[in-house]
Amino acid sequence: MDKHAVNEPRGNPRADVAHIASEVIAQYRRLGGVGFAYGQGSVFTGFSEDADLDINLVWDRPCPPPRQERPVALLCDALHEPVQFDTASLALDKLWVDGRQVDVVHHSKETFEQMLEQVRCGDGWQESIWPLPLFAVAGFFYGVLLDDAYGEGAQAHATLAQFPEVLVRKTHEALSGNFPFYQGELTACARREDGWLFHELLGKLLRDTYIA
């Protein structure tokens, strides 16, 4: 029986995750240029057994392989269509593998190292972009190295062993500096019953508070 026609997990969740991750990485590794791979999210950190799998590949290339080269057709279950997104330095493949949703995120090594450097310098959280460097780096730090043949992933992880104090300082300074503005604007919005702007500003304030 063609395995891609099977749309149900095989049994033990941990065994299934290890099997799927190994199979996914092996197919992409055939393209050449994979530096290392890691898993992030609730399954890999042990908080869930049935959530989506988030697998990140860091490529030793100027940019990830183009979508037509990536082995989504070989990996994706027959009952689902893979969905692909591409930017200049990052790509995403959304797949179903053995009945489980798998998101494969591709970073160029240069982009990944830029995110690490931003966070080590206390930045990478100020803009509303995806992926937000701070969240991406935190996902890497708390994640699991799945494939690291050359030790590049372990080396990158070691640079994060000490939490950057400059990040604490910059986020606290931003929150304390911006709070009077938010307080005044939120009060004004409440007085004129401007619910849309109120919640937009409140969302930004809560995000800054959460990060700080």
pTM above 0.85, yes or no: no
pLDDT in the model for residue 205? 84
pLDDT in the model for residue 79? 93
**Long-range pairs for 90-96 at CB < 8 Å and ≥24 separation?**
90/64, 90/131, 91/64, 91/65, 91/67, 93/67, 95/24, 96/7
The pLDDT tens digits of the residues spanning 21-61 come to 999 999 999 999 999 999 999 999 988 888 999 999 999 99
Q: Are residues 65 and 100 in the same domain?
A: yes
Q: Are residues 69 and 108 in the same domain?
A: yes
Q: What percent of the chain has pLDDT over 90?
A: 65
**What total of structural domains would you count in the chain?**
2
Contact 127, 51 (CB under 8 A): no
Q: Which domain holds residue 195?
A: 165-211
Q: Are residues 129 and 199 in the same domain?
A: no
Closest CA to 58 of 132, 120, 151: 151
Q: Are residues 89 and 178 in the same domain?
A: no
Q: Are residues 73 and 131 in the same domain?
A: yes
Q: Are residues 151 and 185 in the same domain?
A: no
pLDDT in the model for residue 111? 95
Q: Are residues 152 and 170 in the same domain?
A: no
Distinct helix (H) and strand (E) counts, the chain: 7, 6
Report the C-alpha gap between 107 and 63 in whole angstroms: 7
| Mean confidence (pLDDT) of the chain | 89
Q: Are residues 23 and 8 in the same domain?
A: yes
Residue 20's pLDDT band (cuts 50, 70, 90): very high
